[in-house]
Structures are given as structure tokens and as C-alpha cells.
Amino acid sequence: MTDITLQEKPMVKNNSKPAPPCPYKFEPGQLLFYNNEIKQDFEITDDVDKRNFYRQAANMHREVRQYARTLIKPGVSLLQVAVDVEAKIAQICGNSTQSTCIVNKTSGSHPYYCGQAFPLGLSVNNCAAHYAPIPGDDQILTQNDIVKVDFGIHCNGFLVDSAFSMHWNPELDPIVKASQEATDEAMKLAGPDVLISELGDKIDEVICSYEFNGQNLNPVRELAGHKVNRFRIHSGKSIPNKKGSKSKVRMKAGEVYACETFASTGKGKITEVQPTSHYMVSPEAIHVQPNDVRGTEKTKLLFETLKTNFHTLAWNPRWLPSFGFDQFKLQLDSLVQNGYVNDYPKLVEKKGCYVSQFEHTFMISDWGKEVFTRGEDY
């Protein structure tokens, strides 16, 4: 799920309780050592428990996206793809409802909750991000589309955020390759005490080196990668998609980031448009009691339901009827207007252009980086 640098949401301290040790051990993701070193039989000893939660979530992500690739093709309905892939996520996580994050509860055979970290993004062509199909969506994929598949999974609140682009017309190859290379090259630069702006410079350089129909591509400069934390998809620091940032913010060992880049055949500028398919209980409101919420009794009940079933993770209004809310627009609008819920509208480039996206979640250490979400596909 993308960070929006042109209109950042306020960030607050993560107040979640410390996680208990992970009872499982998983194989590491891709290890990137500094100075291109190759270390055989390297043993990771830092943040082992935290890493195993991330690795478990990444394993689930790879399994789901392998399934998603069998569904996504020209002629299919975006809405049906979303329904089927989200059902697969729930199955793999061990959930029988649309609840994605119930604190202090368990999922299936897991001794903690696992779930979808935010709505399945299926943004097509000039739609850059933050679109998940909603009821009434009749869009059918075509041979000449680029679709960005963006979703996250968490285990005990430790979430991975990863995205890839799919296309079927080989003429669109440069657009897709640009964002994939930019993401990979930016991660290579990451490390302790590295200026985050240096990653933005590299992303801009790589994307602008690609051409489509004789014109250089542009990064979508108003979007950014982001630091992630437990139960928090955006946790303060952002990785710019553009050069020339004056920020002096540096990376630190132990931090986890989702590096995502967007390559566009347009000018690299986005606007927010309706409909909105991504909402999130405001971190500032997560400890507000329902009786203290301004609004009707139904508004208070909706807020309590959102907190209980999604915590601070994003959700799609398409899921709400399963919790007994067939009519909720007035109540949801009230929660947004009063600051209890944040809305994240669809982000689009100019009509007629293409946008591609690739994203990985990784952790920074003194010895190198572990890319949790790396797979054979990307």
C-alpha cells in the first residue's frame, strides 16, 4: 500500500505491546551483503523472532501471488479476481471471516492472528495505486492492459507489503522493466546511516533511462515507499520516487521498509479521485471508546466493528456487509469527517498513459539486508 508524499497522513507512536517470541523458524529471504560480498553459511543472529514473523508472512505472500497469476489474464473480471484472491489469503492465513486483524486472537492452527494487511490492489493502466474492486465494478482486463497487483499479509502484526505488474503485450515491456529495475537498484543502496534521498535519486535515474514510443519514462514523483512497523503499514519514513530530495533522514539498522517504485508514460503526476476502496481506522483514534464517538448509535457500532476486526490495518467497504452493515455510507462518512477513520482515494495519472509498479519488503542490518518478499517470480 503506497505512501502519498503530497498529502501525508499524521503519524503517531506505535503503542502495540511487544510481540512474544515466534514459535516457528523459517528460511531467510534473499540476503544482500554490503559491497557485493558473498558469504557462505552466514548465520543471522539479530532480530531473529521478528524476522521469522516476516518470513512466515512472505511465504504466504508468495503462495498467494502464485495463485493470483493463474487467475489474472485478459478477459477476466477484476472484481471476481479480487474476491477469489482474497478468499485464498483468508484460507492460507487460517481465517473463516473477512476479519484481517483481531488483536490477541488466533488464526486457524497459528498461535496468533494472521491476515490480509490491506485490500488487494488491482490498479489498471493510468490508475497508479489504491484501487481495490468494489461492488458494481464491471472492468474486464484486456490484452493491452498493465495491472498492478499490490497486497500485504501480516503474521502477529508483522506485515509484508509487496507488488508486481502483469501485462500481455510485449510492447509494454520497457514500462514494466523500469519499475522492477528501479526497485531492485534502490534496495541495493539501502543500509545503516544511508540518506533515504539517495534511494530516490537512483529510482529517478533508472526509470528515466527507459523509453516508450520514443519518450523517456517518468517516476510517479508524488508516491513513495515507506517504513513499516508492527500493525503499521506506514510508519513515518518515506523512500521518495524522485531525485533532488532535501531530506536529511537516514536509515537505521533494524528498520523494515517497503520499497516501491512507479514508472509512468505520463508526466508522473497523480490526482485523487473517487471511488475510495481503502479506509483505515486512524491511529490517533484506535484507543477511542465507541461511546465517545460522535454520531448515531449505528455510527458507534460501525466504529467498534472496524476497530475489532481490522485494528490499524486498511480495509475495503466491500467487506462490511459480512459484518451486518448493508447500508453504511452515512455512518462511514461521519467517521471520516470526524477524524476517526482515514480514507485513501484512488490515485490516477492522466488518461491514456500507463503506470507500472514493483515493491519488496526488506530489513536493514549492520551486515546487509534481508529481502523477505523476494521470489522466483520477482
Structural domain boundaries in the chain: 3-8+46-274+345-371
Q: Above pLDDT 70, what percent of the chain?
A: 96
Burial of 284 (0-12, 13-18, 19+ CB in 10 A): middle
Is residue 199 within 8 A of residue 105, CB to CB? The reply is no
Neighbouring residues of 70: CB distance < 8 A, sequence distance ≥ 6 = none
Is residue 273 within 8 A of residue 343, CB to CB? The reply is no
Helix (H) or strand (E) holding 154: strand 146-155
Is residue 27 within 8 A of residue 59, CB to CB? The reply is no
Length of the chain: 378
Candidates 3.40.50.10860, 3.30.300.30, 3.90.230.10, 3.40.50.1820; correct CATH number of 3-8+46-274+345-371?
3.90.230.10
Which tens digit of pLDDT belongs to each residue from 174-222? 999 999 999 999 999 999 999 999 999 999 999 999 999 999 999 999 9
Mean pLDDT of the region 22-42: 92
Question: CA 225 to CA 200: how far, in whole Å?
Answer: 10
Which tens digit of pLDDT belongs to each residue from 95-141? 999 999 998 899 988 999 999 999 999 999 999 999 999 999 999 99
Phi-psi region of 136 (alpha: psi -120 to 50; beta: other; left: phi over 0): left
Examine the pLDDT at 33 and tell me if it is beyond 80. Answer: yes
CA 237 to chain centre: 15
Is residue 157 within 8 A of residue 375, CB to CB? The reply is no
Is residue 101 within 8 A of residue 157, CB to CB? The reply is yes
Mean pLDDT of the region 1-21: 57
Examine the pLDDT at 7 and tell me if it is beyond 70. Answer: no
Question: CA 161 to CA 128: how far, in whole Å?
Answer: 16
Examine the pLDDT at 74 and tell me if it is beyond 70. Answer: yes
Per-residue model confidence (pLDDT) at position 120:
98
Neighbouring residues of 352: CB distance < 8 A, sequence distance ≥ 6 = 126
Q: How confident is the model at residue 246 (pLDDT cuts 50, 70, 90)?
A: confident
Please provide the distance, in angstroms rounded to a whole number, between the alpha carbons at the two ends of the chain: 18
Question: CA 31 to CA 41: how far, in whole Å?
Answer: 11
Q: What value, to the nearest 5°, has the Cα angle with vertex 44 and ends 42 and 49?
A: 155
Examine the pLDDT at 239 and tell me if it is beyond 70. Answer: yes
Examine the pLDDT at 8 and tell me if it is beyond 70. Answer: no
Per-residue model confidence (pLDDT) at position 298:
97
Per-residue model confidence (pLDDT) at position 5:
54
Nearest to 224 by CA among 205, 211, 243, 252: 243
